[in-house]
Amino acid sequence: MSVAILTDITRCIGCLECVAACKREYNLEVDVPRRWQNNDGLSAENWTSVLHKPGPHYIRKQCRHCLEPACASACPVGALHQTDIGAVMYENDKCLGCRYCMMACPYGIPRYDWDEQVPYVRKCILCHDKVKAGGQPACTSVCPTEATIFGDRAELLAEAHKRIKENPGKYIDHVWGEHEVGGTSVLYISDINLDFLCYKPNMKTSLPTTTEAAMKSVPVAFVGMGGVMLGLNWIIKRRQKLKEGEAPEGDEQ
Amino acid sequence: MNRVHVVKTILWALVGLGLAVAISRFAFGLGATTNLTDATPWGLWIGFDVMAGVALAAGGFVITAVFYMMRRKEFHPMVRPAVLTAFLGYVAVVFSLLVDLGLPWNIWHMMIYWNPHSPLFEVGWCVMLYTTVLLLEFSPVPLESTSRYAKIRTFLMKFRFPLVLLGIMLSTLHQSSLGSLFLIMPFKLHPLWYTKILPILFFISAVGLGLMMVSFESLVSGWIYRKKPETHLVAKLGKAAVWVLGVFLIVRFVDLGIAGKLGLIFAGSWESFLFVAEILIMAVIPMIIFANPATRNRVGWQWAGSFMVVFGAVFNRINVGGLTMVSTTGDAYFPSWMEFAISFGVVSFMILIFLFAIEKFHIWEEQPRELEADPHAKPRFSRAGEVWLGAPAVAGRTKYSFAFVLALAIGFAIMPGKKLHSGGIENVPVEAARGGDTLYVDGNRDGYGVAFKHEFHIDTLGGDQSCVRCHHMNMPMDFASGCFNCHSQMYQAVDAFKHDWHASPSGGNVACNECHAEGENRTAASAKSCESCHTDLIPAGATIEIESYMAPAYTDAMHDMCIGCHREVNQQRAELPEQKDLALCGTCHTTAGPEYLRADVRERLKRPEFNRVVMPGLSLEDGK
């Protein structure tokens, strides 16, 4: 089963109940504004936030739980990995703190405990344990207007397209997260353009495939370079031998 | 003072400064020492120390390939320095990684948790293996000075050729895999640099750089020890570099042409400027210098040419590592002085080890003479001239130690203690809203603030005696507590009762029964309520009821100022459904600044994004 969250921007009133529920659920601490934070409200202590845009429009920001997550592909030790329900989880015990996941995320989601001596990467984990137990994420369970709802990804996609179709003119005809970077588990429908959520809008590339060719050619390059060097050595040695009549044994350094 | 002394003194001072910063980095964390942010998680330590460090170590595999594989015997004098430089380069990379990683004690996890999809996994393994290979490759040199280890040395010498071959193969992987790291960021890296053949470009440029790094290192170390420069060898390497850099340029531009990105070079943007500078410094100008026989054989031109390639390649790695991502992330990162101090400290330490090895071991064909003055030398009396010939004023090692300790002390002295809190509660801009007691507090310093009722807080906290509860009580030099000190958890009620602060004036350890009922467990439940002592705690007409020891949560405290009345009015108007929106969130949380603010403050509020709180009309009913 692949689960998803659908957020309907036209329904959000910006009450921040989802943010509060998330903080309660994971006992997140005081979030003092810091130099290293972006002004999108996300931080190591805020795993979801609500952006304000003129209108007013309220856009909830959180980890998109990509179907093909770049962060999990980038992590050298597999501390970030995708679970069977589609959530991208993080394991404290494996992480070595290289922050490659933060570089690789097209949405700029993962945050770091910059002020800790023992820092970890922090982001939304789609309430994996609650979902596994048959529940739903803390944020969607408290939304008073059902602006953000939880369910099966295929069903929510159908619901999103249904809403767009039934309300002509109300929405922009696009479901954010349906195809971007190979599809994400967190979907949006909206009456304003949400391209600003991603570093590069409308990017269809699945990011883990970008490094695949290079990684697959590693053994070839390794053995190939060895072969080229040995061959070069053999040819030149032979040539020198022919030239000087006798091989000078000169392998001292 | 001679050159060696001056250079070493400076290097020791840099090592001292770096050590002071390294200690504070582990004591206070990355946020306290670096300028890294969530948008720029990789900075100078990755862009320069790791990316450029590995590139600069390329000399080792290039020269061993030329000497052992292509059997060009004339380069023999350069092999040992090059292998040593490569080894020290990798040790520097490992040092910097240990500082940069958030959890450096977990670095060995790469060995047991495998993710072969990750280019960084490949990079990690290459660093581990190649550093080991370089150590085995180089260790016969120090071992030859004593006969005790002759057997180990002979054993290692047997595997000389396979080790060299393995080193070249690992280097090929490692140099290119640093380019593969950035393949996953097509959205971040500027199109002029992002290409699918980035690993290949990294490898070719590493070969060219390797040739020139060996030349530069030979010229510099020769200069320090006043040795005759190896002009003829540098000229030969330069000639080879022209070909390699030529191939690099062709591949680079053909790739750009196929992708149709050549137009971007003339876009006049920040990136196109970086691109032109990089290509000129790293390839075009050095190629002109080394292609021309008149300049190729002159020491001065060799200095210039080799330095340009080295500088240009480092520049290229830094560009890919972050400089060309700035316009995408919108985060103008510039390293803090402490990041520079660590980088320079690590490099200086490696140079010192290099100089030490040159003086102690048989690195050069002709060992430089012992330049260290005897630290304990006494003045000598010359019988011929009947004068005292003084010992060197301060012997070398004494000077180095002094420079090192002094820099260490200075490093600790100038370490900013408050960087951790930057952007926090210090120097919070507070504006008095026009004509009233209400203050406008911009706690996040983002141009948006909240209305703060000063008199209301004085009243609820205990009148004239209560200043100390917010002002200069938390820390020395702390002017005022931030809102969150009491309204601590944004979304939870929070305990604002300071137990010790109450216990002490009541009589300390014997005064428990003053508040807690006798015989009961001494918990919050068994204690008196606040207002039984603080009879004036709640002024008449206060909207917030103090029921326990909890201060209202931040949001509640803010909302209670307005929302109560709004709800009341709402109820009265229930028969008028179209007026119901009076208590909706969007009624207050609008994007425009309140009318009552001064014009310049209102100007700042025009930023469109992320309006946290603006409370229109608050002071109109309240502030006068």
Q: What is the ipTM of this complex?
A: 0.91
Contact B411, B16 (CB under 8 A): yes
Judged by a CB distance cut-off of 8 A, whether residue B180 touches chain A is yes
Residue B3 has pLDDT above 90, yes or no: no
- pLDDT tens track for A7-39: 999 888 877 788 888 888 898 876 666 777 777
- Determine the Cα–Cα distance for residues B64 and B131; give it in Å rounded to an integer: 15
The pLDDT value given to residue B344: 95
- Determine the Cα–Cα distance for residues B249 and B57; give it in Å rounded to an integer: 22
Q: Kindly list the domain boundaries of chain B, sorted by start residue.
A: 34-335, 430-484+553-622, 497-548
- Determine the Cα–Cα distance for residues A183 and A191; give it in Å rounded to an integer: 20
Choice between A251 and B521, residue whose per-residue pLDDT is larger: B521
Contact B184, A73 (CB under 8 A): yes
3-state DSSP call for residue B527? strand
Contact B160, B207 (CB under 8 A): no
Least confident stretch, B6-10, B371-375, B458-462, B550-554: B371-375
Q: Tell me what the mean pLDDT of segment B365-387 comes to.
A: 64
Q: Which residues of B touch A114 (CB under 8 A)?
A: 29-31, 36-38
The pLDDT value given to residue B608: 40
Judged by a CB distance cut-off of 8 A, whether residue B591 touches chain A is yes
Phi, psi of A148 (to 5 degrees): -125, 120
The pLDDT value given to residue B392: 53
Share of chain A above pLDDT 70, in %: 94
Pick from B24, B112, B120, B138 the residue to mutate for testing the A interface (most A CBs within 10 Å). B120
Give A82's strand partners.
A88
- Determine the Cα–Cα distance for residues B89 and B340; give it in Å rounded to an integer: 17
Option in A30, A96, A203 nearest B107 (CB) = A96
Share of chain B above pLDDT 90, in %: 43
Residue B25 tokens, joined? 């980095």
- pLDDT tens track for A77-112: 999 999 999 999 999 999 999 999 999 999 999 999
> What CATH architecture applies to the domain A3-210?
2-Layer Sandwich (3.30)
Choice between B1 and A226, residue whose per-residue pLDDT is larger: A226
Give B452's strand partners.
B439
Pick from B153, B185, B487, B495 the residue to mutate for testing the A interface (most A CBs within 10 Å). B185
Q: Kindly list the domain boundaries of chain A, sorted by start residue.
A: 3-210, 217-244
- pLDDT tens track for B477-533: 455 666 766 665 554 555 566 676 777 777 777 778 888 887 777 776 777 877 777
Judged by a CB distance cut-off of 8 A, whether residue A161 touches chain B is no
Query: How sure is the predictor about B208, in pLDDT bands with cuts at 50, 70 and 90?
Result: very high
Residue B369 has pLDDT above 70, yes or no: no
- pLDDT tens track for B59-116: 999 999 999 999 888 999 999 999 999 999 999 999 999 999 999 999 999 999 999 9
Residue A218 tokens, joined? 């590693």
Ranked by mean pLDDT, the top range of B323-337, B383-397, B410-424 is B323-337
Q: Tell me what the mean pLDDT of segment B575-579 comes to.
A: 50
Query: How sure is the predictor about B587, in pLDDT bands with cuts at 50, 70 and 90?
Result: low
Ranked by mean pLDDT, the top range of B33-42, B457-466, B472-481 is B33-42
The pLDDT value given to residue B623: 34
The pLDDT value given to residue A252: 45
User: What is the crossing angle of helices B76-100 and B198-224, to 10°?
Assistant: 110
Q: Tell me what the mean pLDDT of segment B356-375 comes to.
A: 72
CATH superfamily of B34-335: Formate dehydrogenase/DMSO reductase domain (1.20.1630.10)
The pLDDT value given to residue A23: 85
- Determine the Cα–Cα distance for residues A248 and B253; give it in Å rounded to an integer: 44
Q: How far from each other are the two terminal CA atoms of chain A, in whole angstroms? A: 63
State the greatest distance between any 2 C-alpha atoms of chain B, in Å, as a whole number.
119
Q: Tell me what the mean pLDDT of segment B537-552 comes to.
A: 58
Chain B, residues 154-173, CB within 8 A of chain A, namely: 160-161, 165, 168-170, 172-173
Q: Which residues of A touch B429 (CB under 8 A)?
A: none
Chain B, residues 270-309, CB within 8 A of chain A, namely: none
In what helix (H) or strand (E) does residue B252 lie, and over which residues does it extend?
helix B231-258
Q: Tell me what the mean pLDDT of segment B400-419 comes to.
A: 84
To the nearest whole Å, the CA of B36 is away from the closest chain A CA by 7
Q: Which residues of B touch A120 (CB under 8 A)?
A: 102-103
Judged by a CB distance cut-off of 8 A, whether residue B186 touches chain A is yes
Residue B50 DSSP one-character state = I
- pLDDT tens track for B237-246: 999 999 999 9
Using CA atoms, how far residue B385 sits from A191, B259, B380, B388, in Å, is 98, 80, 12, 9
Check CB contact under 8 Å for A99 and B121.
Answer: no
State the greatest distance between any 2 C-alpha atoms of chain A, in Å, as a whole number.
92
- Determine the Cα–Cα distance for residues A86 and B16; give it in Å rounded to an integer: 49
Q: To the nearest whole number, what is the mean pLDDT of chain B?
A: 80
Q: Which residues of A touch B109 (CB under 8 A)?
A: 77, 94, 96
The pLDDT value given to residue B443: 61
> By CB neighbour count within 10 A (0-12 exposed, 13-18 middle, 19+ buried), where does A60 fall?
buried
Helix %, strand %, coil % of chain A (to 5): 35, 15, 50
Share of chain B above pLDDT 70, in %: 72
Residue A239 tokens, joined? 């040539």
Judged by a CB distance cut-off of 8 A, whether residue A111 touches chain B is yes
Q: To the nearest whole number, what is the mean pLDDT of chain A?
A: 89
Judged by a CB distance cut-off of 8 A, whether residue B111 touches chain A is no
Strand positions, DSSP E, B372-469: 380-382, 387-389, 430-432, 438-441, 450-453
To the nearest whole Å, the CA of A98 is away from the closest chain B CA by 5
Q: Which residues of B touch A112 (CB under 8 A)?
A: 30, 38, 41, 102
The pLDDT value given to residue B504: 73
The pLDDT value given to residue B186: 92
Q: Which residues of A touch B69 (CB under 8 A)?
A: 229-230, 232-233, 236
Contact B378, B395 (CB under 8 A): no
Residue A137 tokens, joined? 């994420």
Give A187's strand partners.
A6
User: What is the crossing angle of helices B160-180 and B150-158, to 10°?
Assistant: 70
- pLDDT tens track for B313-342: 999 999 998 889 988 888 888 999 999 999
Q: Tell me what the mean pLDDT of segment B582-597 comes to.
A: 51
Q: What residues contact residue A130 under an 8 Å CB cut-off, 6+ apart?
A: A25, A136, A137, A138
